[in-house]
Structure 1
Amino acid sequence: MLVSEILTQFETLRNGSTFTHNEKYGAVKQFGVKLGDIRAMAKKIKINHELAFELWETGYVEARLLATLIVNPKKLSAEEVSRMVHSMDFVHEADWFNSYVLKDLPNKELFREQWMDSDNKWAARSGWSLMAGRVARGYEGIDIAATLDRIEKEMPTAPSEVQWTMNTTLANIGINHPEFRQKALEIGEKLGIYRDYPVSKGCTSPFAPIWINEMVKRKESQAG
């Protein structure tokens, strides 16, 4: 498919509720297409590395989301990855990029170290997303105590986009590493970030102390 054909298809798939939702969360250049429709398009197109870059360059939210599903992460150069992450301007783009592209990069550890210190909020969000995944798997080579100190110091004034993945890192430390759990709980209570976050019925609050305790309880229940 050509980019022009895909954009035309996006126009026909416009959904008013989706458009309003995206606009609420900061989307500027968009059609308002449901995520399920974008996934369906990706299944038809399959992996198409060159098309993914053309779509990304349009700047449309839907085009970039589709790009994350059809790009081949293993073919991306460091320069290309950096260009993508620094050109993002919408939270859904960042989350799909982190979930479908970043986690499969062979040199992602290099990006984690670089981006956590970035002044670009989207790069920092991605860097802390990588850190959250890293500490969930283990912490060989990671100074967890220093990471917790950094979260305690920096998260209160970090951009909201970065706070989210810093908070995920905090929660993952508390959930997966009992020796640091009490410290993680104390930091979460002290900072109070997401304490009053609205949560749908049946979902777990992103407030770190609630999140940590709930997930630990589930793990213990499954183990028992």
Structure 2
Amino acid sequence: MERSTVMQELSSLGKERTRNIYLSQGAREPLFGVATGAMKPLAKQIKINQSLADELYATGNYDAMYFAGIIADPAVMTEADFETWIEGAYFYMLSDYVVAVTLAESERAQTVADRWIQSGEELKMSAGWSCYCWLMGNRPDDAFDRLKLAGLLQQAQDFIHSSPERTKAAMNNFIYTAGISYVPLHAEAVETARQVGVVEVKRGNSKTSRLDAYHSIQKEVEKGRLGFKRKYVRC
């Protein structure tokens, strides 16, 4: 299927209400307003196609960029490819839910995520922390270096309140995910979350969100979800 055909299909699936929701969340023109669930039949037709994914991502159309993440082949994407994608990610839904998710299925995931975390750039940092969340929530605990993750946990504790807004949110989610999905650091993550306390995150023109990883971890533990792992990263 060619890029023009996919764009036509996505355009036909767009809804004004969905489009307005995406715009309110930070998306910008061009976009059609396609619900993610509505993309699944088209994704089943195409399956995996990296060259098409790159073409769609390069359009700058939010829906096409999101769909690119669904049909991408992380196994063949190079570090340069991921750098190109993160440079095009202009708001958190792209950085954290398209680029970070796609990266999490690559063998290069930790190398690239580490670089982004240290970049000093808000959305790159956010994507790096988010990638680790997707990784911890999917890969077995023995796939990680415990000391390395403990170092990241300490870094989150030390810098979360002084970090950019989207990075704050991703760091908070890292603490929460470490507390639930990476059992070797559960106790340390709980203590980190207690020390960090409530994290206030400003979301555009919306009211400030108050994130509390400590109580979120406790609620999940009470539900018996300690050690939770997803079967797949991408849906």
Distance 1:10 1:188, change over 3 A: same
Distance 1:20 1:209, change over 3 A: same
Counterpart-to-counterpart distance in 1, 2:136 and 2:4: 42
User: Which amino acid is the alignment partner of residue 168 of structure 2?
Assistant: Q
- Of 211, 214, 221, the residue aligned with 1:216 is 221
Counterpart-to-counterpart distance in 1, 2:117 and 2:158: 14
Offset at residue 221 of structure 1 (A): 9.3
Relative to the length of structure 2, the TM-score reads 0.79
List gaps (5 residues or longer) in structure 1: 199-204
Counterpart-to-counterpart distance in 2, 1:113 and 1:221: 25
Offset at residue 21 of structure 1 (A): 0.7
* CA displacement, residues 107-155 of structure 1 (integer Å, 9 cap, x when unaligned): 2121122111113322211211233355563652534554333222321
Offset at residue 181 of structure 1 (A): 4.3
Counterpart-to-counterpart distance in 2, 1:209 and 1:53: 39
Offset at residue 182 of structure 1 (A): 4.4
Query: Which residue pairs with 1:57 in the alignment?
Result: 58
How many equivalent pairs are there?
Answer: 213
Identity %: 20
Counterpart-to-counterpart distance in 1, 2:7 and 2:43: 13
Relative to the length of structure 1, the TM-score reads 0.83
- Of 184, 189, 208, the residue aligned with 2:192 is 184
Distance 1:63 1:50, change over 3 A: same
Query: Which residue pairs with 2:204 in the alignment?
Result: none
- Structure (1 or 2) with the greater helix fraction: 1
Which structure carries more relative contact order (alpha carbon 8 Å, separation 6+)?
2
Distance 1:11 1:172, change over 3 A: closer
Query: Which residue pairs with 1:202 in the alignment?
Result: none
Offset at residue 158 of structure 1 (A): 1.9
Could you tell me whether the CA contact under 8 Å between 2:10 and 2:34 is conserved in 1? yes
Counterpart-to-counterpart distance in 2, 1:179 and 1:116: 23
Offset at residue 25 of structure 1 (A): 1.0
Offset at residue 209 of structure 1 (A): 1.5
Offset at residue 67 of structure 1 (A): 0.7
Which stretch has the larger CA shift, 140-149 or 113-122? Answer: 140-149
